[in-house]
Amino acid sequence: MNEFTKTVDAVRQGRNITKEQLACLLGQAGSEEEEYLFTAAREIADAVFHKQVFLRGLIEFTNYCKNDCYYCGIRCGNRAAERYRLSEDEILSCCDSGAALGFRTFVLQGGEDPYYTDERMSAIVRSIKDRHPDCAVTLSIGEKSHESYQMFHDAGADRYLLRHETADEEHYAKLHPKSMSLAHRKQCLYDLKEIGYQVGCGIMVGSPYQTIDTIYEDIAFMQELGPHMIGIGPFLAHKDTPFRDEQNGSVQTTLRLLAILRLLFPKVLLPATTALGTADALGREKGILAGANVLMPNLSPVSVRGKYLLYDGKICTGEEAAECVVCLRNRVERIGYRVAESRGDHPDFA
Ligand code: SAM
Ligand code: FES
């Protein structure tokens, strides 16, 4: 036992972490020590989820956005982005083919696009739930009022993903224009929880100006919020954003952080993200072996895939949904896991 492995055991047992322990687990370590961390995380995930991996069908239904986040390829300031919107019929047809492929969760993600008014959005959610009552609908459409969130929930939305991006005020201000605030982002997450959604927060790993201190604040915020899902993936630069010359986030740090989050939040739904799969061809498998238990293949029509580019080099922009499912199923099985057939709710909601 050395300091690293002792720290893994302490964090695992205490389900808590100090800043020093975080620095240790994200610091210098050999491959055996890293494997010790990943094994500990995997054991916890396996005990709760029995080697199941949950698939979420991601429908990127609009790349219009009124925000101008400095890191994001579909920010409104990016004049080079070719914009698109999917109609309600197109969204429903993605869900129909997804359901036929075995998906039991649809994630509707998009920029903050005023075209989709609360009424339009609620109608879309209602239609999906009418046609697929056994499926969960997750929304990921940014910051809205309590009233709007309530309306979507009343229409049948089950879950909501809203990464907080960073829990540090100064860091937040370096990633976003003045019109956006961390306080509002946090308020949205509390509103969503209060309404009764399964809620996901999260961060980009290695975003510009991120430090151990800010990651520690992120974890403290997560502990306070008690999320059902945590989305983390490496920051990857996009050529048409102010962060074009910034360094990409590290795969290794992302994997370690996934494992740490699993030690701290045994029951949380934790995706191995497309960004992780973009940064490393085997990133998603490595993520699952470090404690992740969700994959989010793309269900968007192939014609628009190449336009929802948050970062450069995004994978799976050419394949049909069916191909993605076969590919992911194989990847999951090759590492000794299996794709679940259930909706994959958080254990407290099941
Ligand atoms: N508009 C919604 C929102 O703000 O939550 C959903 C869409 S937004 C594009 C989804 C997530 O993509 C963001 O929360 C952010 O963490 C991630 N993202 C954006 N740009 C990225 C980049 N360059 N590298 C990695 N992830 C990125
Ligand atoms: Fe709006 Fe990225 S800036 S989705």
Protein residues with CB under 6 Å of any ligand 1 atom: 71-72, 109, 111-112, 140-142, 162-163, 165, 204, 233, 235-236, 238, 275, 310-311
Sequence letter at residue 183? A
Q: pLDDT by residue for the chain (350 residues), tens digit each?
A: 799 999 999 999 999 999 999 999 999 999 999 999 999 999 999 999 999 999 999 999 999 999 999 999 999 999 999 999 999 999 999 999 999 999 999 999 999 999 999 999 999 999 999 999 999 999 999 999 999 999 999 999 999 999 999 999 999 999 999 999 999 999 999 999 999 999 999 999 999 999 999 999 999 999 999 999 999 999 999 999 999 999 999 999 999 999 999 999 999 999 999 999 999 999 999 999 999 999 999 999 999 999 999 999 999 999 888 899 999 999 999 999 999 999 999 999 98
Q: Distance between terminal CA atoms of the chain?
A: 38
User: Contact at 8 Å (CB) between 241 and 72?
Assistant: yes
Specify the pLDDT at position 83: 98
Distance CA(65)–CA(59), nearest Å, equals 16
* 72 pocket-lining for ligand 2 (C-beta < 6 Å): yes
Residue 64 alpha carbon to ligand 2 centre in Å: 8
The count of other CB atoms within 10 Å of the CB of residue 187 is 14
Tell me, yes or no, whether 254 lies in a domain: yes
Q: What is residue 78's three-state secondary structure?
A: coil
Please give the backbone phi and psi of residue 261, each rounded to the nearest 5 degrees, phi first.
Answer: -65, -35
Domain count, the chain: 1
Residue 180 alpha carbon to ligand 1 centre in Å: 14
Tell me, yes or no, whether 7 lies in a domain: no
Distance CA(248)–CA(311), nearest Å, equals 10
Tell me, yes or no, whether 328 lies in a domain: yes
Tell me, yes or no, whether 349 lies in a domain: no
* Structural domain for 38, as ranges: 17-22+30-339
User: Contact at 8 Å (CB) between 215 and 194?
Assistant: no
Distance CA(307)–CA(77), nearest Å, equals 15
Tell me, yes or no, whether 96 lies in a domain: yes
What ligand 2 atom has the least distance to the C-alpha of 310? Answer: 2
Per the DSSP assignment, residues forming a β-bridge with 59 are: 108
Specify the pLDDT at position 105: 98
Specify the pLDDT at position 350: 80
Distance CA(286)–CA(54), nearest Å, equals 16
Tell me, yes or no, whether 8 lies in a domain: no
- The CATH code of the domain that includes 149 is 3.20.20.70
Q: What is residue 21's three-state secondary structure?
A: helix
User: Please, is 119 exposed, middle or buried when counting C-beta atoms within 10 Å of its C-beta (0-12, 13-18, 19+)?
Assistant: exposed
Residue 69 alpha carbon to ligand 1 centre in Å: 9
Helices (H) and strands (E) counted in the chain, each on its own, are 14, 9
Widest distance between CA atoms in the chain: 58
Per the DSSP assignment, residues forming a β-bridge with 199 are: 160
Tell me, yes or no, whether 6 lies in a domain: no
Distance CA(284)–CA(278), nearest Å, equals 9
Q: What is residue 45's three-state secondary structure?
A: helix
160 sits in which H/E element: strand 159-161
